[in-house]
Amino acid sequence: MPTPRKTARGSSAAAKAAARNTDSGPANPLAASDGDFAARKMAETGEMAASMPANPNKAAEHGAANGLNPPVGASVAPPSRLPASSTLTEVNLSPKTGEAPAEGANPNSGPLTRVRVDSSGQRLTTNQGVAIADNQNSLKAGTRGPVLLEDFILREKLTHFDHERIPERIVHARGSAAHGYFECYDAIPHLTKAAPFKEAGKITPVFVRFSTVQGERGSKDTARDVRGFAVKFYTDEGNWDLVGNNMPVFFIQDAMKFPDLVHAVKPEPHHQMPQAASAHDTFWDFVSLMPESTHMLMWVMSDRAIPRSYATMQGFGVHTFRLVNEAGESSFVKFHWTPKYGTHSLVWDEAVKISGADPDYHRRDLWERIEAGAFPEYELGLQVFTEEQADKFSFDILDATKIVPEELVPIQPVGRMVLNRNPDNFFAETEQVAFCTAHIIPGLDFTNDPLLAGRIHSYVDTQISRLGGPNFHEIPINAPIAPVHNNQRDGMHRQAIPRGRVSYEPNSLAGGCPFQAGAAQGFTSVAARLKAREDQAKVRAKPELFAEHYNQAALFFNSQTPVEQAHIAAAFRFELSKVTVPAIRQRVVSMLRNASETLAAQVAQGLNMNPLPEPMPRALMRKLKPEITTSPPLSLMARPGDGSVKGRKVAIFVADGCVGQSVADVHAALLDAGAVPRFVAPRIGPVATVDGMAIEADASLENEPAFLFDALALPDGDAAVIALQADGHSLEGIRDQYRHGKTILALGTGADLLDLVGLPRSLPGGEADPGLIVTDDAALGAQALISGLARHRHPERETDPPVV
């Protein structure tokens, strides 16, 4: 660093004078004058700039080798904090300006504590902090006179109310979310240097949003649909968004078709129907002309599309990504979330009824589980494989309509995620959170998946529109906990107040700061593989393996249990029966014939389609032999969970004249097991029991229909049975519980209600029904009920059509 010239008294005065101008400066550096901060700042700025006579990294910007290993940006330490300051007057403090930030700090990256508001004991004010004397009346010219335009309190309140809603997401508009944490099991440095996986036991905060895809913000939770499963990791090296679904594949292979898919599945534009449903002409017209969607259709027509809860739903990253270690070595990876409580779904009749009684069913379940301490938990697993392995598969790993079967690449557990905190405010957090596949951190990278490439662009673009500008990252829920320092400035709704005069890089006036981190600490992209092949030219085309559309659709269907296969056939039958154009139905069945003749025949029979249409011509005429034809892990039944009943809801029907002690014992046993039992009576309030036991019904047969519960218990007591059989709600509830495969416990004379409804005591094959428990012993009955509840449901009693 050059030594400042010694100056005479006149030169010192000149330095002071020069430092008070903003449009010119001295021809030579002037020494700082003692006690004169303006002159000192100018001198120190000159010293700092002079210490960087050139950009030492310029040569390193060129050549492939340099491109793979960028250097750390050039920087120098400033002599003091003065050169980086915006203004010398920052020492003049006020309650608003506060103090200068700590060195290297961006307060916007701190915890949400800084923006949480608690109004306990506080006066009501306007947005400008003016206390409001009267929040009940508009300002009028007399008590019966006109409202005055000068009522700024009324105008502010109404104007803000008029603008409280923001544009909803184009897709995934209806969502629910929660805070939690990810805990790493063991470090995996041989695979990745990504922050969450650097050490055993490392905790990374997360925010997770679950959603439906098709419906609008006010639609129902239990629609047949794909579910979004998006996780924002607030790592100490920046935010990583793993933006996935509850299904590992998708309808299309290229982002070019995404607008077409969404337009097709959304309500039809001429009459805006149907809402949150794929059972209509335009969707099936589109997918039947896009045979690559066959595999995804199997998933969407399966029970995966109507999950019991977000806590019992798998999640997948969908695309193939890359893991990168410290040495720059990369491997392919697919991400899997597996729920601790098992993979459980609704049946269609149940989903339809729930949507009418409680359209917030999944949202309510997530909130109540967390509030009750039955925290949803998921294990993160990785499928890791090499490029050499991928080249040997019968499918292309860049094709988002394909999975990598677990038999080819096992899933390696690497950590668990626990959701243990509900948001404080739905809009501020759940609605304003912005996920993007482009948000990754060092240790991760993309592949050439053409659908992923479009998502990398599209998510950022839509957030700019939806959240009002390019600064959506500064909304508290989106802000990282890692420090943020860059030269982005201005834009709508800017929250950060950058300090200093420099907003570009490279620079010398801020000591080169903020400087590029370099390959050792910063994000670098994995070098793309380069093969001397003709397909390296610019081309609009897909790889040949993308043209194989049916092998994995067959794999999925053949891997389901008979009950699940029957549900898939019934779902196709229902959806296609809603289609008004026969040719579209014919086309879908012709497509299904290439995946499963059995399924196609079942669907055709359900639609009275005879004869079957010819199989759809294949895009790839040569048949590729798949590595496997069945994969048991693809069945929901393969992941029953940990066997607990935490968070499960059980209805205990009661009425005047019931035996209180026995239902109270069942209630207590369920509560001890972590379930959520509720006494449900013809009316809410106290129930007169024959034994004097105090029972209080907190739900009624009318406001909490039985199909909202996971199991049912019926009371002992002649008078109670008579009262319940006189209420059609109770009989409908018992019938629904049976049809939906739920466990039913009948205590004593409560068994008469089973006979009244006409429930068979045995399964269609003649075996005893394990889900129907009849006993006089409340303790034994409670344990049997809990065991049945842990199974989730008893599909073996199903018939098509149902006999009850």
Known catalytic residues are 172, 245
**Chain-centre distance of CA 240, in angstroms?**
13
Examine residue 611 and say whether the peptide bond preceding it is cis (omega within 30 degrees of 0).
yes
Contacts of 550 (CB under 8 A, 6+ apart): 291, 294, 295, 594, 595, 618
In a 13 Å sphere around the CA of 138, the CA atoms on its Cβ side amount to 15
Residue in this structure with the two tokens 């101008």, named with its chain if needed:
21
Is residue 442 reached through a cis peptide bond, with omega within 30 degrees of 0 on the bond before it?
Answer: no
CA 694 vs CA 174, 671, 683, 750: distances in Å: 41, 17, 15, 19
Other CB atoms within 10 Å distance of the CB of residue 31: 16
Q: Are 791 and 762 in contact (CB under 8 A)?
A: no
The CA distance from 138 to 152, in Å, is: 10
Token pair for 155: 């105008």
Contacts of 97 (CB under 8 A, 6+ apart): 90
Of the candidates 30, 12, 69, 23, which has an alpha carbon nearest to the alpha carbon of residue 524?
69
**CA separation for the pair 67, 82 (Å, rounded):** 35
Contact status, residue 775 vs residue 751, Cβ threshold 8 Å: no
- Are 341 and 636 a contacting pair, CB within 8 Å? no
Q: Tell me which amino acid residue 613 is.
A: P
CA distances (Å), origin 302, targets 69, 338, 355: 47, 18, 18
* Cα 716 to Cα 7, 106, 622, 691, distances in angstroms: 103, 65, 66, 11
Cross-strand partners of 768: 762
DSSP 68: H
Largest CA distance in the chain: 111
Torsion of CA 300, 305, 310, 312, to 10 degrees: -90
Please check whether residue 241 is in contact with residue 436, taking contact to mean a CB–CB distance below 8 angstroms. yes
- For residue 352, the SS3 value is helix
Q: Rounded CA gap, 613 and 114, in Å? A: 64
Beta strands per DSSP E along 551-629: none
Output the CA torsion sign for 741, 742, 748, 754: negative
Cα separation, 108 vs 94, in Å, equals 20
For residues 96 and 316, what is the distance between their CA atoms, to the nearest angstrom?
46
Q: Name 497's Cβ contacts closer than 8 Å, sequence gap at least 6.
A: none
3-state secondary structure of 630: coil
Reference 10, options 29, 28, 30, 25; nearest CA is 30
Neighbours of 259 (CB within 10 A): 12
Which pair of tokens denotes residue 431? 């609605």
CB neighbourhood size of 765 (10 A) = 7
Q: Which two tokens stand for residue 470?
A: 């390019």
Q: Which residues pair with 184 in a beta bridge?
A: 415
Task: Identify whether 56 is preceded by a cis peptide bond (ω within 30 of 0).
Answer: no
Bridging pattern class, strands 743-747 and 676-681: unpaired
Among 246, 349, 338, 733, residue whose Cα is nearest residue 571: 349
Give the count of beta carbons closer than 10 Å to the beta carbon of residue 200: 12
